[in-house]
Structure 1
Amino acid sequence: MAISGRPRALYQRIADRIRDEIVEGTLGPGARLPTEAEIAMEWDTTRSTAVQGLRVLINEGLIFSDRPRGHFVRARKPMVYRPQSEFRKRPLSPEMDNFLAQMAQEGREARQDIEVAVVSPSREVRERLRLTEDEPVVVRRRVRVIDNVPFNTNDSHFPLRLVQDSEIMRPADIPRGANVVLAELGYEQVRALDEIQVRMPTPAEADRLQLAPGTPVAVHLCTGYTQDGTPVRVVTNILPGDRHVITFERHKPPLDFPEPTIRPATAQDLDTVVELWEHAASWLRTRGIDQWQYPPRLERIKANIAQGECWIVEDGDVPIATITVDEHADGDFWRPDEAAEPALYVHRMVVRRDAGGSELGSSMLDWASQRASSQDKRWLRLDAWRDNRDLYAYYSERGFDHIRTVDLDKRRSGVLFQRAAGLVRNVGPKLALKTATPVEPM
């Protein structure tokens, strides 16, 4: 057997065969493997090579050693982890939180060890909670143990100023859940942003979860937001790869292209604009692009909304995109003579990923171009992120000319584009202006 054209070492082939027998069910949970001597004899090799092959399977979490009895197939009963259940209502008994209730329903013995501390947050927590450098958080650290095995860790971080002297500060189960406590304090979470990455554990994580060497972990970061877009909770879950199945349930809203509508954003749309922006930022981060990797500038968005410059694109009543168009020529990028020219400028153009591939971005640029023309402007302009090379081709293909690139240490944007006002390509769905529904007289 070879992988990528390279021959496998003998100890790897020993591991491959035993692994196949475990996966196919020939060796079931709890089955005793042949001894090291028996494996060495079967493969006409040394005992040390047999041990090396078994060590591979131990590191993968497929078998365990119980000396002097031998090696046995691990009885894997992974925990089903459902990130989307965060805000679902569920019946809880007075002494159980969600995790304990779920395990009880599955007939498993579970507990969680909880400690609470006031700490300086890590950078990733501080940025997601939009805290100042010296602002502390309360962290509820939990090790969740199932059938006497540490299965995962769940560390919830809250700004101290929000939860001071509340039930969240106590190192005990919260039967009704921390989300309910936050709501009672006036910080109800209405949405969450989930980020999942897979990596090898840190030494502290491996020790805390008693991980075998070579066991990867999934890291689930969940940031909870209130109705006005304020982040109030960041949860870090560390999930060992050999102990979890991550399950998502998704419902894709129907997209009734080619008839999307566009309307001015209202104050009630702030959360929608922020969510679309963060959705795009998260996707860019997964592609290794550092664009928009900072908290959304809420005051600027509010000002754009108040001045009628921020717009929402909808499929039916489902927001699928946003664009901001104004007369602001950024003084860091555009020269005074250019700023004096009549132009509109595009900012924060975002299309939801499941609406991608429909040329909706082209439609919004056409709409903005026509809007510029209707206001007797000469140009439609924008500045693009310097490190996002894909955007260069995107805008060039849509009729924009690259004016120049401004490279400033304090700014990551600076690739300047413009196209003539009134220029349209007509390759995407046509945007219909959505007017407000008239109110019937009483």
Structure 2
Amino acid sequence: MPGEKTFTKIAGHFRERIMSGELGPGDRLPTNREIAGNWQTAAATVSRALQALQVEGYIRTTPRGTFVADDPVWTLTPKDRLERVQRVRSFLADGETSRVTAAELVKPPLYVADLLDLEAGDQVIRREWLAGRGKTRTVFAVTWYPAPFAVLVPDLLNTSPGRNHGLTARILEATGRTITHARDDMHARQADAREASALALPVGAPVLAGVHRWSDDEGVIEYGEWCLPPRFTIGYEYTP
């Protein structure tokens, strides 16, 4: 339906402007009438789009108008992060920073060895990091890479936060590989002690946990495990 298509485009337009930092916390959105005029659509379509953004935590509405939420409870999906790697060479959102708590060569757990198709005794790169915006912690993650990547990109074993955000782009450049397949899986569960400490939550607090696998015909390029604080919203569009 044309109305449904416009609804998703309007929501996506403002979602992207907020995620990119073009619209910051407290910024005012145009009125519903202005949006309807700019998009040449019905006011009801605009209302549906803004209602979706409000449910997702991006905006708040008051009698004075519609504003970007002061402390938006959203973060990027793995799909969003990969798109940013391809577009701006960083997997962090604008305004998002990261802190690396571990970067090492380790003997992987069996499931990681299987995913990366490793032989017995092979090592793997394990990076553990936390991202946030201001005082808000947005994601805690562990990412795994084949050990030979460390020779091509030595910063994979560097804990400096300034080197973290561009590593995926640098791996692709150094290896000459291209991510051709990506998959995300998610489930809700309770935070363990390590995750709770990183996200400043009580042990056992509810979190949305997930994994992503980015690969090509040669195998997995990056495998990531991550979890989000309670009430955080992530989402992405797809074409049915």
SS at structure 2 position matched to 1:87 = helix
Residues 1:150 and 2:137 aligned together: yes
Deviations 1:172-198 (A, max 9, x none): 324544144234213322111211121
Partner of 2:191: 201
Question: 1:124 and 1:217 mapped to 2: Cα distance?
Answer: 22
SS at structure 2 position matched to 1:206 = helix
Seen in structure 2, the aligned counterparts of structure 1 residues 205 and 175 have a Cα distance that, compared at 3 Å, is closer
Residues 1:91 and 2:88 aligned together: yes
- Which of 210, 218, 226 matches 1:220? 210
Is the Cα contact below 8 Å between 2:105 and 2:124 reproduced in 1?
yes
Structure 2 spans left out of the alignment, 5+ residues? 1-69
Partner of 1:181: 171
Q: How far does residue 165 in structure 1 lie from its aligned partner after superposition?
A: 5.1
TM-score (norm 2): 0.60
Is the Cα contact below 8 Å between 1:183 and 1:189 reproduced in 2?
no
Structure 1 counterpart of 2:198, one-letter code = R
Question: 1:217 and 1:133 mapped to 2: Cα distance?
Answer: 33
Question: 1:249 and 1:225 mapped to 2: Cα distance?
Answer: 21
Ranked by relative contact order (alpha carbons within 8 Å, sequence separation 6 or more), the top structure is 2
Identity of aligned residues (%): 16
Q: How far does residue 213 in structure 1 lie from its aligned partner after superposition?
A: 5.1
Q: How far does residue 236 in structure 1 lie from its aligned partner after superposition?
A: 1.0
Partner of 2:33: none
Question: 2:176 and 2:136 mapped to 1: Cα distance?
Answer: 37
Partner of 1:130: 117
Partner of 1:247: 235
Question: 1:203 and 1:225 mapped to 2: Cα distance?
Answer: 30
Q: How far does residue 206 in structure 1 lie from its aligned partner after superposition?
A: 1.1
Partner of 1:357: none
Structure 1 counterpart of 2:178, one-letter code = E
Deviations 1:281-317 (A, max 9, x none): xxxxxxxxxxxxxxxxxxxxxxxxxxxxxxxxxxxxx
Question: 1:291-306 maps to which residues of 2 (within 5 A)?
Answer: none
Q: How far does residue 248 in structure 1 lie from its aligned partner after superposition?
A: 1.6
Structure 1 spans left out of the alignment, 5+ residues? 1-74, 105-109, 253-442
What is the number of residues matched between the two proteins?
Answer: 165
Which structure shows the bigger proportion of residues in helix conformation?
A: 2
TM-score (norm 1): 0.34
Question: 1:225 and 1:178 mapped to 2: Cα distance?
Answer: 12
Partner of 2:201: 211
Question: 2:166 and 2:203 mapped to 1: Cα distance?
Answer: 37
Is the Cα contact below 8 Å between 1:179 and 1:189 reproduced in 2?
no
- Which of 194, 207, 222 matches 1:233? 222
Q: How far does residue 79 in structure 1 lie from its aligned partner after superposition?
A: 2.0
SS at structure 2 position matched to 1:79 = coil
SS at structure 1 position matched to 2:105 = strand
Partner of 2:148: 161
Seen in structure 2, the aligned counterparts of structure 1 residues 133 and 202 have a Cα distance that, compared at 3 Å, is farther
Q: How far does residue 229 in structure 1 lie from its aligned partner after superposition?
A: 4.7
Question: 2:209 and 2:173 mapped to 1: Cα distance?
Answer: 26
Seen in structure 2, the aligned counterparts of structure 1 residues 174 and 215 have a Cα distance that, compared at 3 Å, is closer
Seen in structure 2, the aligned counterparts of structure 1 residues 103 and 86 have a Cα distance that, compared at 3 Å, is closer
Partner of 1:140: 127
Question: 2:174 and 2:159 mapped to 1: Cα distance?
Answer: 19
Q: How far does residue 250 in structure 1 lie from its aligned partner after superposition?
A: 0.7
Deviations 1:376-397 (A, max 9, x none): xxxxxxxxxxxxxxxxxxxxxx
- Which of 97, 112, 116 matches 1:111? 97
Question: 1:183 and 1:224 mapped to 2: Cα distance?
Answer: 15
Q: How far does residue 208 in structure 1 lie from its aligned partner after superposition?
A: 2.0
Question: 2:204 and 2:159 mapped to 1: Cα distance?
Answer: 32
Question: 2:198 and 2:165 mapped to 1: Cα distance?
Answer: 25
Is the Cα contact below 8 Å between 2:193 and 2:203 reproduced in 1?
no
